[in-house]
Amino acid sequence: MQTKGITPGFNYDDPNIYEETELWCSVGFLRSKTCFEAFIPAPHFVHERLRRVSARRAERNAPPGTYFPAETASALVSLLLHDSLLSIANANQFNYSTFVDEDPIVFNGYFEDHAYTNTTSWRVREASAVVSGWVCGGNNTVVLVRQPDPTWGSLNSGDGSFHLAMQGPATFCGTSLTGLTVGMTYWLSAKIARRAVDQDGAILQLLLNTSAVTSYFDYANMTVLYSGSPPSADFETQMIGFTATSTDASLTVLNASPFGDYTVFVDKIIITDGNPKVLNGDFEEDTGVGKWKYMQDITGWSGFGSRALVSSEYPDWGGLNSGSGKYYVAIQDSDDYVEQTVEGFSTNGEYTATFLYAARPLVCGTCIVGAELGFYVDGVLIEKMIPNYTAFELYTYGPFVPTSSEVTFKFMNTATSGDKAVFVDNLRVPGGPKDLLVTLQHPIILPQIR
């Protein structure tokens, strides 16, 4: 049988694979080259019947109060999770309650939160028994290495007392993630290394899945965030950007090396908001504003002249609603302005600035006639625009490439004279280093094996 995305020649119809006494790959046939080749390109592929059998076995053997990660877990972890948990549960070595969702986004990404605290240099096997928040398993050995240890190459990541080692191909550790914002750009970074300079074939992959699982056969493609050139023989930081497609996600670290004793190390796995930090870009941070208030000191913003925070739909200022929070800023007279210097840009990146703008409606006779808003970036006038006075509009500038890590955005009332107020709301600047951004794949549906 040939299935798109599955390694040709792998016999998924073999009934021995699906015997209830067989635990998919993690016990037996993943150790074969054939299974390994099939496992890498299609880790999300699993027979429903076998999956349910493994789940029932795990539930039978697990201690009271066991918590099993949701179906939104990584496809790779989902595939082997029950098998890994089962073997650990049988040995009474793992507290399932360590699968918790905490801040920061990656729980225990430094691999310091665990029960193993004695003075021995390293701990072999069954790392899920001692590493909070992660389930580890697969084909070979997982090790917690106390830094630096000569047995494991004397490497030191410089972060904490331990790093994680995965020895041999198809060895993995996975964790669940929560708290992402759909549409927001994030940076995933990790310190990685290989065991020795002669292990040039070592390959480490970070696999990310941020699409919800809707059935046993509807998974997202798992994007390889780092692979190809081997990790360094010393720790180095690798970074990749992605845009979240759901609030929940999962992350798997996989030793994808060829067959043999190839060991990869990982430490300091973190996910951070990748967008430059616009402070109070939606003008919601100030208190005591009421319906409206002239503000000389708007949080995050400097400026000149008459500036007010106005509540959406407040009739004395025209009753407009930006659709973004409760307040927006009004820049009232000619040459009045607000501006902010935003940090966190990369000079090899591409960014897009967006904001909402409008003019004060006809509530004061002819005050709207000649209203004009000037938009400046780093002191350069980008455009003078005539705002709509019946509704807010979206303005988009970019993509642009910054010349430094800081960019100043300025909004000025450029009307010729008088009280011709213009409104601005919800400045955002998404983007990042172009060569580091990846696009997550849409879910794919795999055929069910009969």
Q: What CATH number has the domain bearing residue 41? A: 2.60.120.260
Average pLDDT over residues 272-285: 86
Residue 422, phi then psi, degrees to nearest 5? -120, 150
Residue 3 included in any domain:
no
Q: Which residue has the tokens 């914002």?
A: 181
d(CA 267, CA 234) in angstroms, rounded, equals 12
Residue 175 included in any domain:
yes
User: Pairing mode, if any, of strands 419-428 and 327-333?
Assistant: antiparallel
Residue 5 included in any domain:
no
pLDDT surpasses 50 at 445: no
Same domain, 311 and 220: no
Same domain, 333 and 200: no
d(CA 422, CA 360) in angstroms, rounded, equals 6
Same domain, 269 and 312: no
Same domain, 207 and 246: yes
Of 243-247, 288-292, 369-373, the least confident = 243-247
What band does 176 get if pLDDT is binned at 50, 70 and 90?
A: confident
Residue 285 included in any domain:
no
What's the pTM value of the predicted model, to 2 decimals?
A: 0.51
Residue 138 included in any domain:
yes
Same domain, 119 and 233: yes
Number of domains composing the chain: 2
CB 360 within 8 A of CB 413: no
Residue 282 included in any domain:
no
CB 428 within 8 A of CB 393: no
Taking the CA atoms of 106, 207, 21 and 444 in sequence, report the sign of the dihedral they define: positive
pLDDT surpasses 70 at 204: yes
Residue 415 included in any domain:
yes
More confident residue, 297 or 350: 297
Same domain, 175 and 308: no
pLDDT surpasses 50 at 278: yes
Supply the pLDDT for residue 391. 92
Average pLDDT over residues 287-300: 92
CB 154 within 8 A of CB 237: no
Q: Which two tokens stand for residue 43?
A: 């880790």
d(CA 199, CA 393) in angstroms, rounded, equals 57
Average pLDDT over residues 138-154: 81
d(CA 245, CA 213) in angstroms, rounded, equals 12
CB 210 within 8 A of CB 180: yes
Same domain, 234 and 348: no
Residues of the domain holding 323: 292-428
Instruction: Count how many Cα atoms sit within 13 Å of the Cα of residue 396 in the half-sphere of its side chain.
Output: 6
Same domain, 311 and 365: yes
Same domain, 42 and 183: yes
CB 289 within 8 A of CB 122: no
Residue 389 included in any domain:
yes
**DSSP bridge partners of 122:** 145
Same domain, 66 and 191: yes
What band does 363 get if pLDDT is binned at 50, 70 and 90?
A: low
The residue type at 396 = T
Of 99-108, 383-392, 429-438, the least confident = 99-108
User: pLDDT of 305-348, one tens digit each?
Assistant: 999 999 999 998 999 999 988 999 999 999 999 999 998 787 77
Same domain, 261 and 299: no
d(CA 261, CA 257) in angstroms, rounded, equals 9
Same domain, 317 and 253: no
